[in-house]
Amino acid sequence: MDDIVNRDVNPARPDRGPGDTYGEILARDAVPAPVFFKELPDTDIGTESTPVSRYFDPDFFQKEVDYMWPKVWHWACREEEIPEVGDHVIYEFVGKSFIIVRSAPDEIKALYNSCLHRGRMLAECDGSSATFRCPFHGMEWNADGTLHANPFDWDMPQWRDRALNLPEARVALWGGFVFMNMDHDGPSLEQVLAPIPEHFERYDFENRYKAAHVTKKMRANWKATSEAFIEAHHIIGTHRQSLPMSADINTQYDHPSDYVSRQFTAHGVQSPHIDETLSEQEIFNAFMGGGVDPEANPEMRVPVGMTARAFAAQMLRDMLSAETGHDYSHAGDNELTDSLPYNVFPHINFWAGMFSNLVYRFRPDGMDPESSIMDIVLLKPVPKDGPRPKPAAVRHLDYDEPVTDAAEELGMLLARVFDQDVSNLRYVQDGMRASASRVVDFTSYMEGRIRRTHQMIGDMIARGEASDG
């Protein structure tokens, strides 16, 4: 592991990393990947620099608050969290607060969490109630947002003949997630998510359950935090232990639409950064997080003639079948071993795959440009026989609490990897403030998704300012 090298690029593909493409790795797999993993035609995203002020300037932050956040789709909660009428979850971002409530057996609403009288928040936490009664002066609304009682109706002549329903944001559902958007006129959720619903059909998100949900506060702008999770260049610097099992610079990046991008990194294959050729057993050991002793555990020995990747995929396929009772014989090796995140502009990641699916969401922490909240959700398949497990309660981690404090929820291996990412963030934020160039420079291919997100944010702000005149 000391002999980390920078290999020459493949002359046939000078704009890509050295070694095999992700497609070439897939072509050798024992159980092939579905066709939608195929590389898409290149998208020219440019190479312009990005001002660091976008990460801390209060004026830029305010522009995002005014022109971006109110116009994007958010996943607010899972349907399984609000199964009964009156069940509700509070969802908040940049000073906005919504009550996501099951208002009827087949209806979910996102009500503005603000009393029509003098603005007090109506609900302070998740819960279940037939009505929302304002603790300040006692006005009360039904779960569907219609007025239930106004104790001082006689004293509000200006409200007579006026509908007093709580205002609502737009709601749409996909894959067991409840989405909301403050903008009633923009693109539909269907338009924004495409092609995710089609590609994720085989992962059946509706029949997954929330096995873990951790929120972690970070001392970095929401974009800096999100950007730490959407490229594989940081593996050599931040997750060096993964190089023996992660084809980091062979990662494939695609832009299926303006709103959706994706990133496929093969695991169970060594990084081109490592000069020596590792044995399949060494690669498998690294895949398992180290500590594998095939002498003591012969079932952990990679059979002669088999790759670590195929062995790991088959092991996970068998484990998942035993755990859930479902048949995974059709699951591609990559759907069991690889990291396969799809990003939805500007702040959501859904991981494809058969195994536990990670879902992320990034938001500013309140109105602070220099802090953020990352939600980490783990979805698992509902067992074929037996009841649907209850969704996990949210575990909140403050700024100085490591993700390993939630190792019980996420598993120690994953929690440690998150902590490696988190360890950079406050220094990324401070370093950007200290920059002499006043810009950051994303790479052309592997960080193109970050650049595209910045372009989209810039476009939304420009459109918003133009319409303000």
Contacts of 31 (CB under 8 A, 6+ apart): 313, 317, 329, 330, 331, 332, 333
The C-alpha atoms of residue 441 and residue 220 are separated, in whole angstroms, by 18
**Counting contacts by CB under 6 A, is residue 45 touching ligand FES?**
no
Closer to ligand FES by Cβ: residue 138 or 325: 138
Which parts of 28-130 are beta strand (E)?
50-51, 74-78, 87-93, 96-104, 107-112, 127-128
The C-alpha atoms of residue 365 and residue 331 are separated, in whole angstroms, by 38
- Kindly tell me which residue out of 1, 48, 104, 136 binds ligand FES, with binding defined by CB under 6 A: 136
Name which of Fe ion, ligand FES, none residue 366 binds, using a CB cut-off of 5 to 8 Å depending on partner kind: none
Least Cβ distance, residue 138 to ligand FES (angstroms): 6
The C-alpha atoms of residue 432 and residue 287 are separated, in whole angstroms, by 34
Closer to ligand FES by Cβ: residue 142 or 252: 142
The C-alpha atoms of residue 340 and residue 79 are separated, in whole angstroms, by 24
Least Cβ distance, residue 119 to ligand FES (angstroms): 6
Closer to Fe ion by Cβ: residue 168 or 248: 248
The C-alpha atoms of residue 285 and residue 353 are separated, in whole angstroms, by 22
Q: How many residues bind ligand FES (CB under 6 A)?
A: 9
Least Cβ distance, residue 108 to ligand FES (angstroms): 24
Distances, alpha carbon 335 to alpha carbons 41, 318, 330, 401, in Å? 22, 13, 10, 32
**Counting contacts by CB under 6 A, is residue 137 touching ligand FES?**
yes
Name which of Fe ion, ligand FES, none residue 421 binds, using a CB cut-off of 5 to 8 Å depending on partner kind: Fe ion
Name which of Fe ion, ligand FES, none residue 136 binds, using a CB cut-off of 5 to 8 Å depending on partner kind: ligand FES
Least Cβ distance, residue 224 to Fe ion (angstroms): 13
Q: Which residues, numbered 93-132, are part of the site for ligand FES (CB under 6 A)?
A: 115, 117-118, 120
The C-alpha atoms of residue 15 and residue 23 are separated, in whole angstroms, by 16
DSSP H or E stretch at residue 211: strand 208-218
**Counting contacts by CB under 6 A, is residue 139 touching ligand FES?**
yes
**Counting contacts by CB under 6 A, is residue 167 touching ligand FES?**
no
List the one residue out of 212, 181, 217 whose CA is nearest residue 346.
Answer: 181
Closer to ligand FES by Cβ: residue 139 or 313: 139
Q: Which residues bind ligand FES (CB under 6 A)?
A: 115, 117-118, 120, 134, 136-139
